[in-house]
């Protein structure tokens, strides 16, 4: 039976600015298929601009039917951008999303991976802003989502460090000067693959 993946998030998961096959969930599935895994097309619940509240509302409106072999969660950049408190509002909403993600993964938290929030402050979109302040805010949100993932028993993956390389390499950004390019998403997949292989039945062992 084909494995099923569920990806929850915002613009970074739906792949704003890139073609559908260039989204990181699609690239991840393609890489794993080349390794011999049988996968359904990934289920993506994500829209550009969503906060944790809007992602929660979307899941409420159309709950995905589990179980999924892998569930990923990348959410929070719009909470940060809108000035919501990381330690209070964001953490409470994220905890709720993580509980649901674990249920979607058949109550197996090891099959849930939280990705860190990329640093949009290094992009041309942030020109004229206090980039150091944006970086500090992103780091604060990522400290919260890492703690939440660990408390839930889920995995956590840092893609923020790679996202900051876009400051010196425009090829890592989409044409809009804000969102990641297909090349950046490929870097994320390189980081994800060892984690995913470790939790999927029949996958080659992670490095």
Number of domains in the chain: 1
Q: Cis peptide leading into 67, omega within 30 of 0?
A: yes
> Is the residue at 206 inside a domain?
no
> Is the residue at 205 inside a domain?
no
- Write the CA distances from 196 to 4, 120, 143, integer angstroms: 13, 26, 22
- Percentage with pLDDT > 90 across the chain: 94
Looking at residues 163-183, what average pLDDT do you find? 97
203 has pLDDT over 90: no
| Rounded distance between C-alpha atoms, residue 69 and residue 110, angstroms | 10
Across all residues in the chain, what is the average pLDDT? 95
Query: What domain range includes position 59?
Result: 5-199
The answer to pTM > 0.75 is yes
> Is the residue at 172 inside a domain?
yes
């Amino acid at each position: 039976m084909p494995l099923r993946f569920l990806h929850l998030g915002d613009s970074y998961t739906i792949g704003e600015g890139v073609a559908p096959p260039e989204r990181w969930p699609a690239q991840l599935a393609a890489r794993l298929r080349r390794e011999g895994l049988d996968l359904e097309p990934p289920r993506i619940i994500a829209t550009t601009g969503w906060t944790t509240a809007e992602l929660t509302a979307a899941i409420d409106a159309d709950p995905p039917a589990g179980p999924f072999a892998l569930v990923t969660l990348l959410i929070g950049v719009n909470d940060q951008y809108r000035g919501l408190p990381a330690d209070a509002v964001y953490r409470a909403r994220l905890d709720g999303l993580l509980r649901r993600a674990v249920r979607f993964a058949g109550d197996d938290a090891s099959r849930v991976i939280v990705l860190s929030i990329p640093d949009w402050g290094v992009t041309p979109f942030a020109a004229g802003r206090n980039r150091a302040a944006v970086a500090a805010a992103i780091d604060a949100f990522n400290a919260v989502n890492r703690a939440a993932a660990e408390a839930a028993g889920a995995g956590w993956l840092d893609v923020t460090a790679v996202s900051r390389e876009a400051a010196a390499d425009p090829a890592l950004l989409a044409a809009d000067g804000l969102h990641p390019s297909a090349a950046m998403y490929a870097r994320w997949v390189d980081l994800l693959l060892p984690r995913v292989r470790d939790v999927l039945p029949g996958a080659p062992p992670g490095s």
